[in-house]
Amino acid sequence: MLKTRLTELLGIKYPLIQAGMGPFSTNMLCAASANAGALGLISTSGIASQLIAPDMYRIFMESTPGAKEAKTPIDVYKLVYRATLERTKEAKGIFGSNIMVSEELRGMAVKLIEALKEVREESEEMRERGKLIVTSAGDPIKMTNLLKDSGMLWGHVVPSVKHATRAVKAGVDFLVVSGQEGGFHGPWEPISTMTLLPAVCEEFPDTVVVGTGGFCDGRSVAAGLVLGADGVQMGTRFLATKDCEFADSWKEKVVEIGDRGTIRARGIVGPARYLKTPVSQDMCAETVKFAPGTFTGVPDTMTSIPAKILMAEMKGFAATFEGDETKSLYTGGECAQRITDIPTAADLVERIMEETVEALKGLRERYQV
């Protein structure tokens, strides 16, 4: 048992969030994480990928009863919610969605949120357990009107104190503070969790804060709590679980990668962190040449850099499904170097929470305070 402002706000057993990880489905991972007592998040960034990435879309369809007959991705999304409610019924798991709201994805984000409002009208149980969304990668203030009267709890991912200030102004219920060591999407001006998390906690003592980026075990969760967080979100750690729908080679690569195992390069929606392989190293070299803003901290746009850089990401992801390791591109966070196994989400959550309590109790003994 570990009670924090986050567990109280969301009604979850443990102060732990399984991160949204697109563009793939995390439908099954979400249900397994929610059943284990964490908050499970459904990823939505690939839900409209039918034309550009059929393999990614296929996974949404395969894990969702009735999806093959659905007419639109929005209908599939509603079915995903109904299926998640069923999958988490016994344990009364709490779940939500990660929805990216960057400019190029905002139109889709609005449609997804409208669909969510409709689905939540269907039952008290859906409102009670499918209770929140975590937005990311865009201006939260543009979402305020849509979200503040929606009845859902709302978290937003922020990479700086400035962004946190804007999210608080937008009216979020909690902040997800994202350090640059995290997997995949990162900020133009990167700050590490060690500096950013306490800075945001100090600036907003009355707001519930979740740390993310670099957390993968009980010691790191305990450190996050000591830094002032009310809970922790993990991406790369949950990716390497049996319940995650990502390709097996991806999970194995997380476990395999060691010291100095990640690299930054331009991704579709901005800078991104990849597991270091010849493919991601090539992408980094292209980024230096054609999209240097990733390293100089000056944002470029999708139209100001060559399309081949943007397409490389989708091609690399598709190769993970085709089983071609020489072309596969894997995203992941720095903490991959500390991940050594692929457990079930249930075993992982139990283990991490036991370790967290041990680590917190051990502090007093170890340092004789």
Ligand X SMILES: Cc1cc2nc3c(=O)[nH]c(=O)nc-3n(C[C@H](O)[C@H](O)[C@H](O)COP(=O)(O)O)c2cc1C
Cα 45 to Cα 55: distance, rounded to the nearest angstrom: 14
Among 12, 13, 20, 247, binds ligand X (CB under 6 A): 20
Closest contact distance (angstroms) between CB of 279 and ligand X is: 15
143-164 in b/e burial notation, b at 16+ Cβ within 10 A? beeebeebebbbbbbbbbbebb
Question: Structure tokens of 223?
Answer: 């450190």
Q: Which one of residues 21, 30, 112, 177 is an interface residue with ligand X (CB under 6 A)?
A: 21
> Which span sits near ligand X by CB under 6 A: 58-66, 209-217, 338-346, 349-357?
209-217
- Binding segment (CB under 6 A) for ligand X, from list 81-89, 110-118, 194-202, 208-216: 208-216
By the rule CB under 6 A, 185 interacts with ligand X: yes
Please report where in the chains the tokens 């399309």 appear, as a residue: 307
Residue whose CB is less far from ligand X, 130 or 179: 179
Adjacency order of strands within the sheet including 174-178: 16-18, 231-234, 208-212, 174-178, 153-158, 130-136, 95-100, 40-43
Per-residue x/- marks for ligand X, 116-145, CB under 6 A?
A: --------------------xx--------
Binder to ligand X among 212, 280, 328, 356 (CB under 6 A)? 212
- Sign of the torsion angle spanned by Cα atoms 226, 229, 231, 234: negative
Residues between 228 and 287 that touch ligand X (CB under 6 A): 233-237, 239
Give the torsion through C-alpha atoms of 272, 347, 37, 75, to 10 deg.
Answer: 60
Contact between 333 and 233 (Cβ < 8 Å): no
Q: Report DSSP letters for 178-210, one per residue.
A: E-TTSSEE--SS---HHHHHHHHHHH-TTSEEE
Binding status of residue 160 toward ligand X by CB under 6 A: no
Closest-approach residue to ligand X (CB): 235
Is position 213 an interface residue for ligand X (rule: CB under 6 A)? Answer: yes
Would you say 35 or 220 has its CB closer to ligand X?
220
Which of 180, 287 has the CB closer to ligand X? 180
Torsions phi, psi for 57 (to 5 deg): -65, -40
Which span sits near ligand X by CB under 6 A: 16-24, 63-71, 102-110, 355-363?
16-24
Q: How far apart are CA 189 and CA 271, in angstroms?
A: 9
Q: With CB under 6 A as the rule, give the number of residues binding ligand X.
A: 31
* Residue for token pair 């906690």: 201
Q: Does 4 bind ligand X (CB under 6 A)?
A: no
Q: How far is the CB of 311 from ligand X (least distance, A)?
A: 18
The distance of closest approach from Cβ of residue 223 to ligand X in the complex, given in angstroms and rounded to an integer, is 13
Please report, as residue ranges, which positions from 163 to 182 form the binding site for ligand X (by CB under 6 A): 178, 181-182
CB-based contact 330:277 (threshold 8 Å): yes
Tell me, what DSSP letter sits at residue 133? E
Nearer to ligand X by Cβ, of 88 and 193: the residue is 193
Residues 81-100 that bind ligand X (CB under 6 A): 98, 100
Give me the 328-347 binding string for ligand X, x by CB under 6 A, dash otherwise.
---xxx-x------------
Which of 5, 124, 37, 27 is CA-nearest to residue 76?
27
What span, in angstroms and rounded, lies between the C-alpha atoms of 291 and 300?
A: 7
Whether cis (ω within 30° of 0) applies to the bond prior to 343 is: no
CB of 317 to ligand X, least distance (A): 9
Question: Does the footprint of ligand X cover residue 183 (CB under 6 A)?
Answer: yes
Question: Shortest distance, CB of residue 41 to ligand X, whole angstroms?
Answer: 8
Q: Decide: 34 and 93 in contact? Cβ < 8 Å.
A: yes
Footprint on this chain of ligand X (rule: CB under 6 A): 19-22, 43, 45, 98, 100, 136-137, 157, 178, 181-185, 212-215, 233-237, 239, 331-333, 335
